[in-house]
Amino acid sequence: MWWWWLLGRVSHFNVTTLQGIVESRDGVVGELQAAFKLCNSVVDKENYTGFILQATYRVQQGKPTVYLFGRLLDGRTFLVRDHHQTPHFYVDAAAREAVGDHIRSTGDKFSFAGEPLLCVDVAIPADAPPLRDRLQAQGFKTYEADVRFAMRYLIDRNIKGGVEIEGHAMAGDGTDLVFDDPTLKPAQAVISPRIMAFDIETNPNTDSLLAIACYGYTDDGALLDRVIVVDKRDRKMPPQAIRVRSERDALELFCRWMRDFDADVITGWNVIDFDLTQLAKVAQRVRFDLQLGRERGRMQIRPPQGYFGSGHAVVPGRIVLDGIDLLRSSFVKMDDYSLDAVAQQVLGEGKTLGTKSADNQHPDKVAQILSTYETDLPSFTRYARTDARLALQILESLKLIDLAFARSALTGMPPDRVAASIASFDFLYLSALHKKRLAAPSVVSTRTSAGPQSGGAVFEPRVGIHPNVWVFDFKSLYPSIIRTFNIDPLAHAQSEQQEDCIATENGCRFSREPGVLPAMLDDLFPQRSQAKAAGDEIASQAVKILMNSFYGVLGAPSCRFYNPAIANAITGQGRHLLGWSKAWFESQGFQVLYGDTDSVFVASGYADAQQANELGQSLVTRFNADLTDYLSERYGVDSRLELEFEKLYTQLFLARVRGGSQGARKRYAGKIFGSNRIEFVGMEVVRRDWTELAKIIQRNLFERLFQGEEVASYLQDVIRQFRSGALDHLLIYHKGLRKPVSAYTSNVPPHVQAVKQSLSPPPRVVAYVITTAGPQLVDEATAPLDRDHYLQKQILPVATPVLEALGLAFNQVIGDDRQIALF
């Protein structure tokens, strides 16, 4: 058969595939067409490098297949399908009879105690949990029986984002290339993902879709900035708006845009819990098969867990990153996480429609949007397009998607799961264990609460204003403690069989053999140093977030390595070291004014700020040398700890507890040497639940205090403006809801009272004012503002500390209310 010779010229293609093609054709012509088609679709076996966006699996004909979607460095998209992975976990040898036919092998993995484990195979991933639960109910220990199937595939190969693919590439349907059963290896890979932001608009009841706006750039720089408008009236559409007659038509066009744009990342603001959720409801209502992925498959949305949780969306071959979640998981703090507020703060612009219309007839924003849709299509479409654009531009400005991909490359988690610190720790730790042929215990699902855990040390502040104060800070204290004392779950287990161990202050023991967690940190520390030296803030921040998560993970009951003794060993050593630091500075003749976890505040004793700054730089060298000697003598360890001279406050104000005489912890303000900037910690100016007026007054009062300027006249002027109503726009409170409104029963705080009076859906962050009728939402306030409340609860508290430092009293400064009132 000569066409078989032709097919044989294709390098190493799958013979089984060929036989299936031939058997499915009638006659020579069909076989020849199949042969030429395969020749055109198969590329010679070679190496490719790319980045994995999504790891999942499919069960086909009773067998699981790993699916890895991603993008190559050359820009092409790919799908890896691996049929060879078998779902499995491990058990103690004592479970041999209970496991029965599921046993695959012995001696492949060992427990922390060095005991050989049995490998248990199951047919599909869903078979593992019931078998695991049955074995555990019988008293047998299981190991790694909770690890997700697709993630285990990557863990076993230590593939973290970047991947090298060696195999045949075939033309795909939905992806550019498809690889069946290739060889995969870890690789370094940085890609520029293609990102589409979108936003939908609905009527107030969310039961009618009005528009879908999309925004993004293609690889060649072409801009997608369009909006689909559902309109049955044949109205003329503004530029960049496309009219469709029905919701179904809108969904169909949106799916087509998604396919043509071929986004790696879908994003938006509250895009999972609102936009995608609503689109899924519309699709169900109009009986439309909503296909947004790179291959056919229904979008899956996991609803939020708990009141403050966020949903998670799975779209085949694409990842969904919500803008709000990216901010929070990247530790970007905002007073208000609404799109308008964040856009104003980050970009200097906001939405094109306010919360109230010009004629003040639509206090509800959604009703205003509907009114604009009905009467002003140009403004409506501009509003929809702006929302999509702002969402993407905020993320680009803060480089949050770049950060998510950098964290993915560090942890092995897909970019949409990098905030899962326990899963990230699992990936790294299990990968390291497997190199040692060790398996970790399964997560104990019955564990519900954490054991007693201690925090960091805090010294009581010496209240008052202090000149030229050094602030010394331990560089990455908890990670450095882990490295110095070999604090590690495996090292802790090994210490039970050893005599010469490292004993921490809480009595916890660790082997002196190199631990897994310290070794992980040994790799991460130089990575961060290199990133900082290169000016790569994204990489540096990604490493910092990961390293700082390790302590918290060990103290979390849902972590497989949870152990309060280990977590307390870290904090206990931190407290001991801070106490030793205080004693060291005092032995050098300096006064320690305050200390908190990893920082110590020391009065330099110098009147000249320049001299104080120079001495602070040199003092840490002596300190670190003495600390190294101390740790070697007391514990027999090599110090990985380093105290740094962080800054000099030319003036430092340590506040007292409000209404008391002792110093307030984590609450101070200081002017930094070489700058006019004042740094506030724990003060009202940095807290979301204080009004903007209180923050402005506090900031200005401290500026005058530190500069030696007069404060009484300033405060009197502010009070006059306040009473005149000129500052009313600064009297808004912002407070987040901690639980559903209905859950507030016995103690109902003001922001909840305001929400309960409203017919609008409760927002996550409530904006309200205090009126003579009580708390009311800003957009629905009807009663006059309660000015006495603001005077006593906002102005007085922030002014008193500064006035007391100057020997003044608040009532003295502002005088009798009747004398300064303007009406």
Find out whether 619 and 433 touch, Cβ atoms under 8 Å.
Answer: no
**Is the domain of 39 the same as that of 163?**
yes
Of 18 and 27, the structure prediction assigns the larger pLDDT to 27
**Is the domain of 508 the same as that of 645?**
yes
The CATH number of the domain holding residue 754 is 1.10.132.60
Find out whether 602 and 592 touch, Cβ atoms under 8 Å.
Answer: yes
**432 assigned to some structural domain:** no
> Could you tell me whether strands 663-672 and 195-202 are parallel, antiparallel, or unpaired per DSSP bridges?
unpaired
Query: In the prediction, which pLDDT does 451 show?
Result: 62
Strand partners for 228:
212, 242
Find out whether 227 and 239 touch, Cβ atoms under 8 Å.
Answer: no
User: What region does 807 belong to: left with phi over 0, alpha with psi -120 to 50, or beta?
Assistant: left
Q: What are phi and psi of 484, to 5 degrees?
A: -65, -45
Find out whether 693 and 794 touch, Cβ atoms under 8 Å.
Answer: yes
DSSP letter, residue 496: G
**421 assigned to some structural domain:** no
Q: What is the mean predicted confidence (pLDDT) over 678-704?
A: 93
> Could you tell me whether strands 195-202 and 209-217 are parallel, antiparallel, or unpaired per DSSP bridges?
antiparallel
**Is the domain of 24 the same as that of 157?**
yes
Find out whether 200 and 101 touch, Cβ atoms under 8 Å.
Answer: no
Q: C-alpha angle with apex 734: 728 to 739, nearest 5 degrees?
A: 150
Q: Which of 29-38, 266-275, 696-705 has the lowest mean pLDDT?
A: 29-38
The CATH number of the domain holding residue 58 is 3.30.342.10
- Reported as a pLDDT band with limits 50, 70 and 90, residue 354 is low
**Is the domain of 348 the same as that of 456?**
no
Q: Which of 235-244, 296-305, 755-764 has the lowest mean pLDDT?
A: 755-764
Q: What is the mean predicted confidence (pLDDT) over 14-18?
A: 39
Of 4 and 324, the structure prediction assigns the larger pLDDT to 324
Q: What is the pLDDT of residues 178-189, one digit of tens each?
A: 999 999 999 999
Domain count, the chain: 4
Of 666 and 445, the structure prediction assigns the larger pLDDT to 666
Question: Chain-wide mean pLDDT for the chain?
Answer: 89
**Other residues' Cβ atoms within 10 Å of the Cβ of residue 681:** 13
**Other residues' Cβ atoms within 10 Å of the Cβ of residue 92:** 17
3, pLDDT greater than 60 = no
**Is the domain of 162 the same as that of 209?**
no
**Is the domain of 209 the same as that of 353?**
yes
Q: Which of 68-77, 291-300, 363-372 has the lowest mean pLDDT?
A: 363-372
Q: What is the pTM of this model?
A: 0.86
How is residue 398 written in tokens? 């803060």
**436 assigned to some structural domain:** no
Find out whether 598 and 474 touch, Cβ atoms under 8 Å.
Answer: yes
**677 assigned to some structural domain:** no
The CATH number of the domain holding residue 650 is 3.90.1600.10
DSSP letter, residue 653: E
Q: What is the pLDDT of residues 247-265, one digit of tens each?
A: 999 999 999 999 999 999 9
Q: For residues 80 and 317, give the distance between their C-alpha atoms in angstroms, rounded to a whole number.
A: 11
Query: In the prediction, which pLDDT does 197 show?
Result: 98
Helix (H) / strand (E) element for 568: namely helix 564-587
Find out whether 706 and 692 touch, Cβ atoms under 8 Å.
Answer: no
- Residue at which a domain ends, from 191, 215, 243: 191
Query: In the prediction, which pLDDT does 455 show?
Result: 82
Residue 398: name the closest of 321, 483, 459, 457 by CA: 321
Query: In the prediction, which pLDDT does 794 show?
Result: 95
Q: For residues 132 and 617, give the distance between their C-alpha atoms in angstroms, rounded to a whole number.
A: 57
Three-state SS at 311 = coil
Q: Which of 151-160, 408-417, 707-716, 807-816 has the lowest mean pLDDT?
A: 807-816
Q: Which residues are within 8 A (CB) of 16 and not within 5 positions of it... i.e. 6 or more apart?
A: none
Burial 451-482 (b: 16+ CB within 10 A, else e): eeeeebbebebebebbebbbbbbbebbbbbbb
Share of the chain above pLDDT 70, in %: 90
Length of the chain: 823
Q: For residues 427 and 157, give the distance between their C-alpha atoms in angstroms, rounded to a whole number.
A: 11
779, pLDDT greater than 50 = yes
**Is the domain of 702 the same as that of 628?**
no
Helix (H) / strand (E) element for 91: namely strand 88-92
Q: How many helices (H) and strands (E) does the chain have?
A: 27, 30
**Is the domain of 31 the same as that of 176?**
yes
- Reported as a pLDDT band with limits 50, 70 and 90, residue 535 is very high
DSSP letter, residue 164: E
Residue for token pair 């908190």 = 596
94, pLDDT greater than 60 = yes
Of 13 and 720, the structure prediction assigns the larger pLDDT to 720
215, pLDDT greater than 70 = yes
Query: In the prediction, which pLDDT does 305 show?
Result: 67
Q: For residues 404 and 407, give the distance between their C-alpha atoms in angstroms, rounded to a whole number.
A: 5
**516 assigned to some structural domain:** yes
**Is the domain of 199 the same as that of 288?**
yes
Q: What is the pLDDT of residues 130-156, one digit of tens each?
A: 999 999 999 999 999 999 999 999 999
Residue for token pair 């007085």 = 796
Residue 295: name the closest of 48, 77, 121 by CA: 77
The CATH number of the domain holding residue 398 is 3.30.420.10
Q: What is the pLDDT of residues 327-347, one digit of tens each?
A: 999 999 887 888 998 999 999
362 is in which domain, residue-wise? 195-411
**Is the domain of 546 the same as that of 625?**
yes
**Is the domain of 270 the same as that of 386?**
yes
- Residue at which a domain ends, from 656, 672, 700: 656
Find out whether 688 and 786 touch, Cβ atoms under 8 Å.
Answer: no
Query: In the prediction, which pLDDT does 44 show?
Result: 52
**Is the domain of 187 the same as that of 199?**
no
Q: What is the mean predicted confidence (pLDDT) over 515-534?
A: 94
- Residue at which a domain ends, from 656, 673, 692: 656
**553 assigned to some structural domain:** yes
**Other residues' Cβ atoms within 10 Å of the Cβ of residue 795:** 22
DSSP letter, residue 780: G
**169 assigned to some structural domain:** yes
Residue for token pair 């905030």 = 419
Diameter of the chain measured on Cα atoms: 110
Residue 720: name the closest of 580, 622, 815, 579 by CA: 815
3-state helix, strand, coil in the chain (%, to 5): 45, 25, 35
Query: In the prediction, which pLDDT does 24 show?
Result: 41
**620 assigned to some structural domain:** yes
What's CA 228's distance to the chain center, in Å? 32
Q: For residues 401 and 53, give the distance between their C-alpha atoms in angstroms, rounded to a whole number.
A: 12
Q: Which residues are within 8 A (CB) of 422 and not within 5 positions of it... i.e. 6 or more apart?
A: 553, 556, 558, 559
Residue for token pair 């720089």 = 221
Strand partners for 596:
458, 599
Three-state SS at 505 = coil
Residue 804 C-beta-side C-alpha neighbours within 13 Å: 18
Q: For residues 90 and 128, give the distance between their C-alpha atoms in angstroms, rounded to a whole number.
A: 11
Q: For residues 117 and 97, give the distance between their C-alpha atoms in angstroms, rounded to a whole number.
A: 14
